[in-house]
Amino acid sequence: MLEGIRVLDLTIALAGPLATLLFASMGAEVIRVEAPGGRGDISRWNPPFIGAHGAHFDEPSEDEISVSMLNRSQGKKSVTLNLKSEIGRQMFLEMAGHADVVIENFSAGTADRLGVGYPAVSTANPAIVYCSINGFGSESPYSLKAMDIIVQAMSGIMEASGDAAGPPVRIGVPIGDMAGSLFATTGVLAALLRRFRTGEGRRVEISLYDCLAALLSIEHFEVYERAGIPTRTGNAHARLTPFGVYPAADGYVAIVAHTDEWSSRLFAAMGQPELAHDRRFLTRGLRVQNMAALTELIEAWTRTLPRDELVRLLTEEHDLPAAPVRTPADAMCDPHLARRGALVPLRHPFYGEGAEPVIGTGLPIRFSGIPPATGARSPMLGEDNESVYREWLGIDAERLDELQRLGIV
């Protein structure tokens, strides 16, 4: 879909690399630029690591790669370049003249200090689409390091998860980084469409804080707070009662029965059809007001049956939305997701998938006429120096050797 689009990837950790992974997965040529001398992306040192003998949490050997890096570098090319040197900076700006997109997620202001921010790059290439991803925006009043948990804490999203009487809960995946990546991808694609029409480049700025605030606002929690209604309701969705996760005899089940018709079916499945006529549960509003009593009745019933039997009973006999609550490992091994290309086996540049494949991020977007993703090989750090610098900058092997001796690449 994006064949012919060239992306220079100055990203680290997750918020940026996931965005550039999506571009690579959709066919763009993504050149990942990292510091030379083994000082690349900090994610290279995240355990576990994969080598000849599979995944482990010990210190890595030279040919072993972090699972994080193996996942986030799929289908990309890797070059090393010292942006703190004048030669390295000029090389990058020359490469930017041949690129369509630059994506960076340094701390706010870092790219400008290095001389590779939007003003410098757009001077080298006025048609460039330049995307900056940071924690709180370019004019933020907050002097906070924007790690995902910091952004979750500031955004209020942690107070939307967990039980009302319990502590705030961190969402189990780095939702701030991931939301930022998805909004960045959308913004860059929109800017590219405009450039195709006008020939003009654009800067796209993404704040992780902005992204989580935008997601949180979907539920209008401030209205609940003004009305004195708790914003943390555990595994239930208060305004859609019954709508939540309930304990089975051997696990948990998600059940949705918030409409009048569905709640009647649930009461029938429970063997208590008379509850449909109980004054506490006659309407949706009454069920919300009497959520605690209704939840107690449902849980008393769900605890008596095995998880899979509950799901079968609810879905097959009463046509209700219900599903087993799976572990992450169970979900990652679902062959349906593999067939659709949403999950793919990670491929080490030397050892391939290995004896015990590790599952990574595929492309959860399907295009007609294009087969699902199967997973692309990840490069070693600096593996593509020779080919990329020869093609993009015309640098021959002798000059590349000299640049290596100087610590430029």
CA distance 269 to 252: 17
Q: Which of 9, 41, 148, 177 is catalytic?
A: 177
- Residue 192 φ then ψ, to 5°: -65, -40
* 3 state DSSP class of 127: coil
CA distance 199 to 219: 39
**Angle 103-106-108 from CA coordinates, rounded to 5°:** 110
Q: Which ranges constitute the DSSP H helices of 217-371?
A: 221-226, 260-269, 284-289, 291-302, 307-312, 328-332, 335-340
Q: Is 177 a residue of the active site? A: yes
- The structure tokens listed for 196 are 């195709």
The packing angle between helices 15-25 and 175-198, to 10°, is 50
- CA of 161: how far to CAs of 216, 224, 326, in Å? 11, 14, 19
- Residue 6 φ then ψ, to 5°: -110, 130
CA distance 401 to 161: 54
DSSP 44: G
* 3 state DSSP class of 128: coil
Which amino acid type is present at position 239? R
- 8 A C-beta contact, residue 267 and residue 273: yes
Instruction: Find residue 248's DSSP bridge partners.
Output: none
- 8 A C-beta contact, residue 138 and residue 205: yes
Instruction: Find residue 49's DSSP bridge partners.
Output: 56, 66
Instruction: Find residue 253's DSSP bridge partners.
Output: 246, 324
Number of Cβ atoms within 10 Å of the Cβ of 123 = 12
For residue 101, the surrounding DSSP H or E stretch is: strand 101-104
- Give the residue numbers annotated as catalytic, written as ranges: 177
